């Protein structure tokens, strides 16, 4: 049986920190579904279609990665994807406290799905999508924070 994991997020935009978490998670799982969550109450900088296309371009030659968008509960999406794991990256203790509570709720909603936390590599722990969005909004060069083949000119 293949070990499938879901890596959920808004990826608005994907950062080198996200990319690093995916690369490390690939060592643990046969397949990873990068799941772009759709939250109707959230205003995104990049449209969903652009985010999907960016991720598909980034992972186009990687058979271990699938890209999908979803709405609703992550545990329900995991069931549709036949995944028993959720991967979450942690940059700080604040991230841990927030993610721990979500993981506990998810565990109560579906005990067969396990959340796996991966600590951010130290060199990426300060990078967040919200800060990268601010750089882009103000015309700054965010290229060093976005994995290739993407760059800030394509995202801005």
Q: Domain spans of the chain?
A: 4-151
Q: Which two tokens stand for residue 3?
A: 């070990």
Is 144 in the active site? Answer: no
- 4-151, CATH topology level: Rossmann fold (3.40.50)
Among 10, 120, 129, 152, the active-site one is: 129
Q: Which two tokens stand for residue 88?
A: 């979450």
Closest residue by Cα to residue 66 from 55, 74, 77: 55
Walk along the chain (156 residues) and give the pLDDT tens digit of each residue.
799 999 999 999 999 999 999 999 999 999 999 999 998 888 899 999 999 999 999 999 999 999 999 999 999 999 999 999 999 999 999 999 999 999 999 999 999 999 999 999 999 999 999 999 999 999 999 999 999 765 444 444
Is 42 in the active site? Answer: yes
Is 3 in the active site? Answer: no
Distance CA 87, CA 151 (A): 25
Is 18 in the active site? Answer: yes
pLDDT score recorded for residue 43: 86
Among 24, 26, 91, 133, the active-site one is: 91
DSSP H stretches of helix in 26-92: 48-58, 74-80
Distance CA 72, CA 49 (A): 18
Distance CA 119, CA 125 (A): 9
């Amino acid at each position: 049986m293949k070990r499938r994991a879901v890596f959920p997020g808004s990826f608005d935009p994907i950062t080198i920190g996200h990319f690093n978490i995916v690369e490390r998670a690939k060592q643990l799982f046969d397949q990873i579904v990068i799941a772009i969550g759709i939250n109707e109450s959230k205003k995104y900088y990049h449209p969903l279609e652009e985010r999907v296309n960016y991720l598909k371009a980034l992972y186009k030659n990687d058979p271990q990665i699938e890209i999908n968008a979803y709405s609703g509960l992550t545990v329900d999406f995991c069931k549709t994807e036949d995944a028993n794991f959720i991967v979450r990256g942690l940059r700080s203790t604040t991230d841990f406290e927030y993610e721990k509570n979500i993981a506990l709720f998810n565990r109560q909603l579906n005990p067969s799905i396990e959340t796996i936390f991966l600590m951010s590599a130290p060199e990426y722990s300060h990078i967040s999508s919200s800060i990268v969005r601010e750089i882009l909004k103000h015309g700054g060069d965010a290229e060093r924070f976005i994995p290739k083949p993407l760059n800030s000119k394509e995202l801005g």
